[in-house]
Amino acid sequence: MGIAMISPAVNDTETDGEAAARPKALPVLQLVDVRKVFGDFAAVDGINVDIREGEFVTIVGPSGSGKTTLLRMLAGMEAPTSGYITLRGTLINDVPADKRPTCLVFQSLALFPHKTVGENIEFPLKVREVPAAERKRRALEFMRMVRLPDHYYAKNVMRCSGGEKQRVALARAFAYDPDVLFFDEPLSALDYKLKKVLEKELKDLHRESGKTFVYITHSLEEAMVMSDRVGVMSRGRLVQIGTPEEIYTKPATRFVAEFFGEVNSFPVRRTADGGWTQADGGPIVVAPAGDDIGEAATVIVRPETMRFVTGPSSADNLISGRIYNEYSLGSRMLYQVHAGERIYLVEVARAAAGGLVAGDTVTIGWDARDAILVGD
């Protein structure tokens, strides 16, 4: 397939005024009905998404959800079975990785073990036949960008720590001067403390460089901390994409809600008067449901929106139970409360716990606005 220009998708339902107000620039990356099929298995099944200039977009999902296959297509290591991928409006389905203005930072980093830090960073510049003096000058600039001291220039890369190797790989990626940087779980092998440092530095580098980042990870914490938008994949499909706040507070499905941390979830059914009742017959108060919610749904209540109730309460929903166990989360406490056959999780500030221990009888409550209703 030859390289061709593709017109951007147009929303047929928008008004003339909305169309006039819509930005004219193409997204830097656009995926339309992208599928990748291996035999009878669709690893990626109909992905549609626009990635804007300068965004930090992270794709998360469980193993086998298709996120790595999607990344390989974006980076030019796999061609889509159908659909199309454009970069600044140019079709790149069959453009090989080395012909694209993009760069992939591998999980393994793929550094040259026999070369110095400087030689690794200079590699893209050497390929472009940049003179030696200019290569060194620019390599040192990239080293400073990723917080590597100048004297590391002559250090063998295999004598660097894990975090330093990560910085070398980042500096080399910037030396390619790509339009888009792709990341394949680059922090997964690092210890927790170093990972937190590099999360902050990656976010700082994104802001300082103005580049577009597309990041793949299993870590929900990485996605929430660093990203402008998060896409959640399941079974080859992109089930939701939005800001970290939207994904966390307004999950589109039960899968998305449960994937982003522990939740209290229970099935409910619509009553004749438009309210909702739990499967065991108990009433439950929730915020008004959208038109896309049918007769059966699932209520999601996050542990931190629940609270222990003593005396008269204005909580919309009240449940009595017994504390089964408690877990320290540093400044917060997580309690497991058994109420009949159901288990509830309640997370509160340590100061608000009031010395509760396993075996105590308690009443827990939450408000309608904190109950997220998702369709089955």
Contact 190, 201 (CB under 8 A): no
In a domain, 105, yes or no: no
Cα–Cα distance for residue pair 28/368, rounded to 1 Å: 40
In a domain, 267, yes or no: yes
Q: Cα–Cα distances in Å, from 321 out to 267, 309, 329, 333, 365?
A: 19, 12, 22, 17, 11
User: What does pTM read for this prediction?
Assistant: 0.84
Residue appearing with tokens 């939207």: 246
* b/e sequence 11-43, b meaning 16+ C-beta within 10 Å: eeeeeeeeeeeeeeebbbbbbbebbbeeeeebb
Cα–Cα distance for residue pair 376/280, rounded to 1 Å: 17
In a domain, 106, yes or no: no
For 287, the token pair is 């915020």
In a domain, 198, yes or no: no
pLDDT beneath 50: ranges in the chain: 1-14, 19-23
Report which of 266, 275, 224 is spatially closest to residue 248, judged by C-alpha positions.
224
Q: Cα–Cα distances in Å, from 362 out to 292, 338, 345?
A: 36, 10, 13
In a domain, 281, yes or no: yes
In a domain, 100, yes or no: no
Residues 6+ apart with CB under 8 A from 167: 143, 146, 147, 148, 201
Q: How many domains does the chain have?
A: 1
What local confidence, expressed as pLDDT, does residue 17 receive?
52
Host H or E run for residue 354: none
What local confidence, expressed as pLDDT, does residue 289 receive?
66
Cα–Cα distance for residue pair 62/260, rounded to 1 Å: 11
Host H or E run for residue 220: helix 220-226
What local confidence, expressed as pLDDT, does residue 290 receive?
63
Quickly count: other Cβ atoms within 10 Å of residue 153's Cβ.
17
In a domain, 16, yes or no: no
In a domain, 353, yes or no: yes
Cα–Cα distance for residue pair 107/154, rounded to 1 Å: 24
What local confidence, expressed as pLDDT, does residue 190 receive?
81
Report which of 69, 29, 70, 72 is spatially closest to residue 51, judged by C-alpha positions.
29
Listing DSSP states for 305-322 in one string gives G-EE--SS---SEEEEEE
Alpha helices in 146-191 (DSSP H): 162-175
Task: Supply the CATH number for residue 283's domain.
Answer: 2.40.50.100
Residues 6+ apart with CB under 8 A from 358: 323, 324, 325, 326
Q: Which domain holds residue 362?
A: 262-375
